[in-house]
Structure 1
Amino acid sequence: MKLIIASNNAGKIKEFKKMLTPLGYEPVSMKEAGIDTEIPEDGTTFSENAHIKAKTIYDITHTPVLADDSGLAIEFLGGAPGIYSARYAGENATNEDRINKVLDELKGVDKPLRNAKFVCALYFIRDDDYEICVTGECEGFIGEEPIGKNGFGYDPIFMLDDDTSMACLSDEEKNKISHRARALEKLAYELNKK
């Protein structure tokens, strides 16, 4: 079944394709589906933003849609960057800019206070009669410097243990434990009940 992913984020699209194709879906990005529209992200939670994205694209296409809103929540920063993760260092900031902003804000902060989690809300709309939202989390802490070359976004500073950041994992390893994988696991469970 064709499934539009309400995103043009190449990293997210790659992860979704790897995780959803074996489940019988044919995930396509908005760009691949020929959709060029700005989607507002004016919700106050990850779930609200995922719903806004899914509904916007579903209303245009009437095709099954999966939307994701995810980000990094750091305990010491009161949950920031949170829903602003992609725009945390400014609208046109790079991953490196965002990482550096977080590291600057945590400079001198001891490890026990650097607890963090990645959060993912997925909103799926199959048709006018079926929609569902699920969330997944992955807990860790913020390292003092980037480690690893894989992944994207904040992965190089999101530590799973003292030596391993999310960016040290292969795609296969990450897709077993990530916040997105955990949310997709919940979604697959719910869809199989239908």
Structure 2
Amino acid sequence: MNKVLLATRNRKKLVELQRILDGALGAHRIALLGLDDVEQYPELPETGLTFGENALIKAREGCRRTGLPTIADDSGLAVDALNGMPGVFSARWSGQHGDDRANFQLVLDQIADVPDEQRAASFVCTVALVLPEGKEHLVDGRQSGQVLRAPRGDGGFGYDPIFLGDGQDRTNAELTPAEKDAVSHRGKALREMAKLIAKVLPPTAA
């Protein structure tokens, strides 16, 4: 079975990606490893100004350090009323990396006076795949919707509790994992990545 590194320590993201890849790849199975599953190395700062630049920074370093095909994603919430922010700063919008509640509460506070019809936003995700022989691939996914005035739901992570996708009556945090995978920015990007993986990694026996 092919081993592929996902350059993250976020276990929820690891589970989510494995679930999506398993569903998309079918018999073309891979074993997905996180950063906690390989020899530790210093992670580079995400200094890119776009999701793609940050995804490539992480994927290139993971591949260089481990010799494994490496997937990395950068994703975030782009709020129209905040001129596309938090954007690439989504994970650390409140100042502390990965504090989901503080991050989405700051967004709610910043647009508290914005009327409902002007609270449009999009989840954006870019996924990079870097192969040991040096080839690089990027795919994108987007989910459009709006920011609610208060969080709803206990599922998902990040800004899911305050995001209502277009055509939905439940936030991303209220959807089942399968429902979220079907519509989310990351689900869309990862299904495209799964197609690439099936092409560039040779099938192996499980």
Question: Could you say whether these structures have the same fold, taking a TM-score greater than 0.5 normalized by the shorter chain as the test?
Answer: yes
RMSD: 1.6
User: Identity, % of aligned pairs?
Assistant: 37
Look up the SS of the partner of 1:31 in the other structure. helix
Higher relative contact order (CA closer than 8 Å, sequence separation 6+): 2
Q: 2:149 aligns with which of 144, 151, 161?
A: 144
Q: What are the superposed Cα offsets for residues 77-106 of structure 1, whole Å, 9 maximum, x if unpaired?
A: 000000000010002562111111000011
Contact 1:20 1:26 in 2 (8 A): no
Give the structure 2 partner of residue 173 of structure 1: 179
**Residues of 1 paired with 2:59 and 2:76: CA distance?**
17
Give the structure 2 partner of residue 124 of structure 1: 129
Give the structure 2 partner of residue 6 of structure 1: 7
Q: What are the superposed Cα offsets for residues 93-126 of structure 1, whole Å, 9 maximum, x if unpaired?
A: 6211111100001102112211111111100012
Decide whether aligned partners of structure 1 residues 98 and 129 sit closer, same or farther in structure 2, where only a CA change above 3 A counts.
closer
Q: What are the superposed Cα offsets for residues 50-97 of structure 1, whole Å, 9 maximum, x if unpaired?
A: 000001111111111000100110011000000000010002562111
Q: 1:96 aligns with which of 76, 101, 123?
A: 101
TM-score between the two structures when normalised by the length of structure 1: 0.94
Contact 2:81 2:119 in 1 (8 A): yes
Give the structure 2 partner of residue 60 of structure 1: 65
TM-score between the two structures when normalised by the length of structure 2: 0.88
Structure 2 unaligned spans of 5+: 201-206
Compute the displacement of 1:193 (Å): 4.8
**Residues of 2 paired with 1:192 and 1:57: CA distance?**
20
Q: What are the superposed Cα offsets for residues 116-155 of structure 1, whole Å, 9 maximum, x if unpaired?
A: 1111110001221432001100111000000011000100
Contact 1:20 1:27 in 2 (8 A): no
Decide whether aligned partners of structure 1 residues 193 and 21 sit closer, same or farther in structure 2, where only a CA change above 3 A counts.
closer
Contact 1:138 1:179 in 2 (8 A): yes
Q: Are 1:111 and 2:116 an aligned pair? A: yes
Give the structure 2 partner of residue 29 of structure 1: 34
Give the structure 2 partner of residue 187 of structure 1: 193
Partner letter of residue 16 of structure 1? L
Look up the SS of the partner of 1:136 in the other structure. strand
Decide whether aligned partners of structure 1 residues 164 and 117 sit closer, same or farther in structure 2, where only a CA change above 3 A counts.
same
Decide whether aligned partners of structure 1 residues 64 and 149 sit closer, same or farther in structure 2, where only a CA change above 3 A counts.
same
Partner letter of residue 49 of structure 2? T
Look up the SS of the partner of 2:33 in the other structure. strand
Q: Which moved more, 1:162-171 or 1:110-119?
A: 162-171
How does 1:154-165 map onto structure 2 within 5 Å? 154-160=159-165, 163-165=169-171
Compute the displacement of 1:11 (Å): 2.1
